[in-house]
Structure 1
Amino acid sequence: MASSLVLPTTAQLAGHWQLHQQDQVCALDLLDQPNALAGDVACAEQWLGDKPLTWLPTPDGIWLMNAQDSGIIHLNREKGGEYKGHTASIPEVVLQRAP
């Protein structure tokens, strides 16, 4: 199965996104080069417990990484423009491409 998954490019995923946790929303920008995060990173940090500064595409989702390039959360691709993940303290967060 893994061989059928395609790794998206950073250019394909770059743009304006919204991170949802229940009824709260953080606006995030995935920047193409150098895979940096911009927008309301402090909002996302409150939920994730660590400040996401970079990101990496994976064949099945997106990793949000901290300053030490350690993964904070892996968001699994649900459908085009929507990724879901969870942590020990958060049952679900959803990353959606902004309209």
Structure 2
Amino acid sequence: MRGNVFTYTTMAWLMAVTLMMTGATSMASSLRLDDPSAFAGRWQATLTGHNDTPETRSLQDKPSNTCLVELAPNQTLGEGTECLAAWLGEAPISWFPEPDGVAIIGEKGSKIAFFSRQRGSVYTKKLDGGLVITLERAPQ
């Protein structure tokens, strides 16, 4: 009986390790990292309250609520940096794509914001105070 216990325990550990390894491999292959050129260009950033409806968001055209942000092809930020800095509390200097969104990097080289992909070309970042920054591809 003692020999069987060792065998069952060993088999359980081997199965667990195998599942973890195959799960990690399949997870990594399911997350696709977009090329930075897919994000380069002008984006409209909108600061809204958590409970704002799409109709109220479209009416918000105040300079303090909306700005155009340029994600440059060399992964730096162009115009609109001041606007994001005011909302994030730190000046952003660069960006990079992640499998499920876009990361914004601050002057010290650390990630200061992550914009999560919602649908299509819409990304959001929830701020501590309950406000939401929405990034959408600006009309050409």
TM more than 0.5 = yes
Indicate the residue corresponding to 2:72 in structure 1.
Answer: 31
Higher helix share: 2
**Pair 42,90 (structure 1): closer, same or farther in 2 beyond 3 Å:** farther
Alpha-carbon deviation of 1:36? Answer: 0.2
Highest CA radius of gyration, 1 or 2? 2
- Runs of 5+ consecutive residues of structure 1 not aligned to the other structure: none
Q: Indicate the percent of aligned positions where both proteins have the same amino acid.
A: 33
Equivalent position to 2:133, from 90, 93, 99: 93
Q: Would you say the 8 A contact 1:82–1:94 is kept in 2?
A: yes
Indicate the residue corresponding to 2:35 in structure 1.
Answer: 9
Aligned residues, how many?
A: 98
CA deviation string 1:2-26 (max 9, x = no partner): 5312101111110110111023112
**Pair 88,2 (structure 1): closer, same or farther in 2 beyond 3 Å:** farther
TM-score by length of 1: 0.91
Alpha-carbon deviation of 1:44? Answer: 1.1
What amino acid sits opposite 1:5 in the alignment? Answer: L
Q: Distance in 1 between matches of 2:125 and 2:84?
A: 13
Q: Would you say the 8 A contact 1:86–1:92 is kept in 2?
A: yes
After superposition, the CA RMSD in angstroms is 1.3
Equivalent position to 2:119, from 79, 84, 90: 79
- Runs of 5+ consecutive residues of structure 2 not aligned to the other structure: 1-26, 49-59
What amino acid sits opposite 1:78 in the alignment? Answer: Q
Q: Distance in 2 between matches of 1:87 and 1:69?
A: 20
TM-score by length of 2: 0.65
CA deviation string 1:39-96 (max 9, x = no partner): 1211111110001110010000000111112111100011121101112235311011
Higher strand share: 1
- After the TM superposition, list the runs of 4 or more consecutive aligned residues in structure 1 that deviate by more than 6 angstroms: none
